[in-house]
Amino acid sequence: MRRGRTAESATDRLSRLLTMVPWLVNRPGIDLTEAAAGLGVSEDQLESDLQLLFLCGYGQMPDELIDAQVEGGRVFVTNADAIARPLRLGVDEALTLMVGLRALAAIPGLGERAAVERALAKLEQATGATAAAAARVDVAIDGDVEAALLVDARRAVQEHRRVHLRYLVPSRDEATERDVDPMRVVNLDARWYLEGWCHRAQDTRLFRLDRIESLEVLAADGTPPEQATWRDLDAGTFQPHEDDVLVTVRLEPGAAWVSDYYPVEWVEDGPDGSQVVGLRTADTLWLQRLLWRLGGRGVVLDPPGLGQEVRAGAQAALTAYGEAAGADPGDG
């Protein structure tokens, strides 16, 4: 059985290790306690990272791996010149970075626009023809979001002001009124989100800006409570909670992609390529729609009542389709 959760994302740890290597290379023999404090990690975490670095390098031979050791309470990192040196951007990397900066500069209400434009100008000056190619690329990020809405959301975060939302919940086809203490505005998969402490749910929530029907910045202080924590969005926008419904689903071989695309509690692999997975969801309507999309390649094993709802919904859709197919065109 494979478990679906980790204590730390791979992206976070990789970012820390890439920062750590040149820092330690330039401080040979630094005291372990001092190094941990300087890097902002515990001594146990630092020693764990050093053990991982010992297995990293640009090849598999001993002289191609980083030498990371703790001797007498002091840290030594050697044979890491390839990582410690500043990296040069390739053409594809420079093009990608410039396109990203152009998209960033187009964001309404961006407070750091001058810094973005300076960085873009330096890249254009250094890359020549690549800059001309980047200028021909047009990037659109969530054009359905009104500029004023994005500006107000960002302003509420910067000024620590509470906001009042009218938010559309598609799964229930209803709009809800909520007071939210905003924490950040982020873009994921070309969509804008506002993350904040929702007073209605008494928990942190992620709101898609294109589903916010109205947003009012209030005069009230919007500092989130101490228990409010940012989500680790490396795992995606859909993240279950421990108190959500635990559902067991059998996935036929053609539907095994579900366990890669959505966070699951556990996975049992079958010899024929099928899977039995456990996943949590607070929105069983979303899960029903997913199972209908799978066209019979996904079956709810538990809870039984949910499986009956899926079958009933599929049957109702087939009945409605049959009635529509047999209707007189003149009836509209």
- Strands of the sheet containing 203-208, edge to edge, are 203-208, 191-198, 174-188, 161-169, 212-221
Burial of residue 279, with CB atoms counted within 10 A of its CB: 0-12 exposed, 13-18 middle, 19 or more buried: buried
Q: What is the pLDDT of residue 160?
A: 94
Q: How far apart are CA 116 and CA 120, in angstroms?
A: 6
Mean pLDDT of 220-242: 77
Mean pLDDT of 24-37: 90
Q: What is the pLDDT of residue 118?
A: 80
Q: CA torsion sign, 273 to 278 to 283 to 288? A: positive
User: CA 125: distance to chain centroid?
Assistant: 33
Q: What is the pLDDT of residue 31?
A: 93
Question: 245-323: what fold?
Answer: Alpha-Beta Plaits (3.30.70)
Burial of residue 143, with CB atoms counted within 10 A of its CB: 0-12 exposed, 13-18 middle, 19 or more buried: exposed
Q: What is the pLDDT of residue 315?
A: 82
Q: What is the pLDDT of residue 82?
A: 63
Average confidence score pLDDT of the chain: 79
Residue 283 in this model has a pLDDT that exceeds 90: no
Highest mean pLDDT among 113-117, 167-171, 287-291, 325-329 belongs to 287-291
Q: What is the DSSP string of 172-197?
A: TTEEEEEEEEEEEEEEETTEEEEEEE
Q: What is the pLDDT of residue 163?
A: 96
Q: Are strands 298-302 and 245-251 parallel, antiparallel or unpaired?
A: antiparallel
Mean pLDDT of 139-150: 65
Delimiting residues of CATH 2.30.30 domain(s) in the chain: 160-233
Delimiting residues of CATH 3.30.70 domain(s) in the chain: 245-323
The pTM assigned to this predicted structure is: 0.47
Q: What is the pLDDT of residue 6?
A: 40
Q: What is the pLDDT of residue 261?
A: 80
Residue with tokens 């030594």: 76
Listed range (91-105, 142-156, 288-302) with the worst mean pLDDT: 91-105
Q: Are 236 and 263 in contact (CB under 8 A)?
A: yes
Residue with tokens 């009104």: 146
Contacts of 227 (CB under 8 A, 6+ apart): none
The one-letter amino acid at 262: Y
Listed range (132-136, 225-229, 254-258) with the worst mean pLDDT: 132-136
Q: Are 207 and 193 in contact (CB under 8 A)?
A: yes
Residue 226 in this model has a pLDDT that exceeds 60: yes
Question: 2-84: what fold?
Answer: Arc Repressor Mutant, subunit A (1.10.10)
| CATH class of this structure's domain 160-233 | mainly beta
Mean pLDDT of 256-263: 83
Q: What is the pLDDT of residue 237?
A: 59
pLDDT in tens, 145-201: 577 888 899 899 989 999 999 998 765 667 889 999 999 988 776 678 899 999 998
